[in-house]
Amino acid sequence: MSSSSQISEPEIFRMIGLSESDLLKVDDPQSVWLVYPFDQGTDRPVAAFTGFMCAFDLASRLNAFVENGIGIRPVPSTPTNIEVDRYRQLTQVGMTPFLIRLKSDGNMVEVIDGVAENLDEITLENNISKFVSNIQFRKKVGWEFDLMGTFWAPSRRLAIKKARTFTSMITELEDRIPGLFEKKLLFPVHSQI
């Protein structure tokens, strides 16, 4: 690769929405770095970090596939509307949040070129328990589902594999005895001290 085709560091920073004045805040302990979709603006950040490099790494990874791009911006570290450093460990070890659509029809899994409103990974307990534990919902809709959620993985291939495993778990619940599963979700047993 010739040096003329390489992108300069200032150009990379401009591509993720950083100005020269933003870069002066890289080591500022009074700043927090927001990661946000360009089409939503800084009013809808998906992550926030105390360290510039974490924000930069996550934005760079997401920009490889998010259609309208991801930017980062420093803001004062006063209380924000998003939990700071929530995804720091995942980002530091090289994980990427992939947005994936799951459909029961043919166990379809589709990677979406976007990012969810938050980067929390989809879980049975938090995202679909209200559906599978609701007997009226199951009678009306059955076990058909069309869900979209985030799966953190080091690669797109592993994110798809993780999503397929999650889909298999949901499908497996179809064979469970109605009532038993609902009781476990709605009335979890807590160990007594």
Domain ranges of the chain: 3-91, 96-186
- Which range in 6-15, 78-87, 140-149 is most confidently predicted, on average pLDDT? 78-87
Of 80 and 47, more confident: 47
29 by Cβ neighbours in 10 Å (0-12 / 13-18 / 19+) ranks as: exposed
pLDDT tens for 25-45 read: 888 888 999 999 988 888 899
CB atoms within 10 A of CB 107: 13
Pair 114, 174: CB distance under 8 Å? no
Confidence of residue 1 (pLDDT cuts 50, 70, 90): very low
Which band of pLDDT confidence, cut at 50, 70 and 90, is reported for residue 177? very low
Sign of CA dihedral 108, 111, 115, 118: positive
Q: What pLDDT sits at residue 158?
A: 96
Task: Give 73-101 pLDDT, tens digit per residue.
Answer: 999 888 778 899 999 999 999 999 999 98
> What pTM did the predictor assign?
0.76
- The SS3 call for residue 15 is helix
Determine the pLDDT at residue 191.
45
Is 153 exposed, middle or buried (CB count within 10 Å of its CB: 0-12, 13-18, 19+)? buried
96 with 113: CB under 8 angstroms? no
Asked if residue 18 has pLDDT above 80, the reply is no
